[in-house]
Chain A
């Protein structure tokens, strides 16, 4: 194994090691989520050196330089950092704007043997509008580079496929979604099937799937290449207005609905994986954090909730079970009166493991295993640690583990399907005095921000005690959108008072008021590099601030 290059990822901070292993080039990601302005670079470098075999003595200097670049990236923001000024007002939409999105230009910077090369191109942003178009803007030049026309009604939701950013997904009130080439303006596919307005959509992290949420109470999954429908996710009893793929594998989808619940889905199955219940009002937004361990939700009931996406509970009970049963579409487990449990790989029809007498541990390839016994208990096994994670007795209790579907069977004649992804509520924050309209995590997934009709925004710690870290007060109208700057030093809010504001996330102080729009601001966003802000308004204009 030989280390070839360090790749830097700015937001959230991380390093990817590119190395040679048996003639093949491979990558290994190292997250540095708690890197901040006060971090001791030498100490972190030492820690990585000790932990990571690929990092040898010769490259420690390079590693420290990489860490220093990442740290500087965080420092350049904040109260003493950048101020934004109106750069361009874009006026070619003829009706109010809806949502905006930046591409991720310069997402990955490459360091090759210390020679720092930037891969940054020109930043682009996209805007949706009541005029039925989505426009692509060159942020630097402040000019429109393409108009994506074809929708028969309002273009509401707009997204790039990250990180490639060579496709745009639009969701429209015309009940369809479309996939576009943002360079040529060509519509590559029209995603049909919804019976109501498409108000939420997103590409999966790999870019091969598109998810849509609609006012028809359903969500759908489409194949990006062919435009054909893969699944319809039914289960919500009211409009689906928020949707997101998990940022890691992209195999999980969450949807938020006006029915007050959040649903978790699997891209490989049509059935609902689980429902998160607890809010007393319509859901306004729902989001995964960076490592997909948490789900944050905001609701018109005035609260925001955090859910543990990894804690599991019983999903379904199948009665009448006698033999093998199915889980995760690929694994089959069986239990026998001889006191052993076997686990089968359904794809190869081979027995992967046998557990006898319920005392032995067994190994497994990157998965978790459940077994059951005559003693009436079920055990959960972590194959990677070869240790028993939990024992469930009486087949009624909930148990914990990590990220997969598991089945257990019992002599009581039932089999239970357990899902790691059904979540329990970790915390409810109710500092707001009115409807909570938006929620977002910072890029590193350490904090969460909420926006409310009570004219304030709030920031909460989500890594330890869910404490309120800051309250942003000053807007004179409802705050409808909130987002963190990529490095996390600033919070950006959009308000009905026709202004956007930039806040210090540590103190809650307002750093800047971005005023000038003639109508309320519907949406706002930070560019990936943190050097530009775009605001979109009901006044038919979009403003770029730099």
Chain B
């Protein structure tokens, strides 16, 4: 994955190729989810200081998944990656009660961005295996998902570390692929 490959992935994608953008606060589980999607070992995940890109085949589509670091100081740079996004995937750590408000604010900002206008949204309510995790329905309420009118959205409970619910989310993604211009 040198710079040239990044340019290749930057192209407005041909048919059957999708650009998925994976965002969320730090420690939400984005990289673990990415590795789970690519069927890789999820045991040695470290905070992402930049980004990771992986291509996954699913239901006849090539999904180019961009996992972007979520630390506060690099969130202003999320906009670098918005161009040509087909599906936005937002990952929430459901056990991190203290930062529910923060994650809601970040998502609200994303949904207001011109470059992501109308882009379908999948929210992964991650870490459902932890005892303190809130259920997906409550997360949806906190995030105000029911108020979204300008795009299709879905919330999917999941456990990124063992893969529970991940596949279901991707099936929704494949069903909601935007028609290419």
> Which residues does A use to contact B, with CB under 8 Å?
94-96, 98-99, 130-132, 153-154, 156, 173, 197, 199, 215, 238-239, 241, 258, 282, 284, 437-438, 478, 480-481, 494, 496, 519-520, 522-523, 538-540
Contact = CB atoms under 8 A, between A and B. Distances in A.
A154 B80 contact: yes
B83 interface: yes
Given A173-B83, A478-B2, A539-B49, A94 B7 contact: no
Given A131-B77, A153-B80, A539-B49, A284 B10 contact: no
Nearest to A538: B50
B2 A173 contact: no
A494 B83 CA distance: 28
Interface string B1-19: 1111001101100000000
B80 A173 contact: yes
B80 A480 contact: no
A540 B1 contact: no
Contacts of A522: 2-3
B22 to A, nearest CB: 16
26 contacts: A95-B49, A95-B50, A95-B77, A96-B50, A98-B3, A130-B80, A131-B74, A132-B77, A153-B79, A154-B80, A215-B7, A215-B10, A215-B11, A238-B11, A239-B7, A239-B11, A284-B4, A437-B4, A478-B1, A478-B2, A519-B50, A522-B3, A523-B3, A538-B50, A539-B49, A539-B50
Contacts of A153: 79-80
B51 interface: yes
A282 B8 contact: yes
A246 B74 CA distance: 39
Contacts of B80: 130, 132, 153-154, 173
Interface string B113-151: 000000000000000000000000000000000000000
Contacts of B2: 437, 478, 480-481, 494, 496, 520, 522
A61 to B, nearest CB: 50
A238 to B, nearest CB: 8
A96 B74 contact: no
Contacts of B181: none
B51 A96 contact: yes
A425 B83 CA distance: 37
Given A215-B7, A215-B11, 5 more contacts: A95-B69, A131-B74, A154-B80, A173-B10, A540-B49
A99 B2 CA distance: 11
B28 to A, nearest CB: 19
B73 interface: yes
B77 A258 contact: no
A523 B6 CA distance: 13
A130 B11 contact: no
With a 10 A CB-CB cut-off, give which of B4, B7, B49, B74 has the most chain A CB atoms: B4
A523 B8 CA distance: 17
Contacts of A520: 1-2
B3 A99 contact: yes
A96 B3 CA distance: 11
Given A95-B74, A239-B11, A480 B50 contact: no
A540 B51 CA distance: 11
A165 to B, nearest CB: 23
Contacts of A438: 4
B37 to A, nearest CB: 20
A429 to B, nearest CB: 19
Interface string B89-107: 0000000000000000000
A463 B113 CA distance: 55
Nearest to A523: B3
A241 B50 CA distance: 23
Nearest to B3: A522
Contacts of A173: 10, 80, 83
Nearest to B46: A518
Contact of B7 (A96, A241, A478): A241
Contacts of A132: 77, 80
B4 A241 contact: yes
A284 B5 CA distance: 10
Nearest to A451: B2
Contacts of B3: 98-99, 156, 480, 522-523
A540 B83 CA distance: 22
B140 to A, nearest CB: 31
A130 B50 CA distance: 8
B4 to A, nearest CB: 5
Interface in B1-57: 1-4, 7-8, 10-11, 49-51
A199 B7 contact: yes
Contacts of A258: 8, 11
Nearest to B79: A153
A284 to B, nearest CB: 5
With a 10 A CB-CB cut-off, give which of B2, B10, B80 has the most chain A CB atoms: B2
B38 to A, nearest CB: 16
Contacts of B83: 173, 197
A481 B69 CA distance: 26
Nearest to A481: B2
Nearest to B49: A540
Contacts of B49: 95-96, 539-540
A519 B80 CA distance: 20
Nearest to A539: B49
Interface in B55-96: 69, 73-74, 77, 79-80, 83
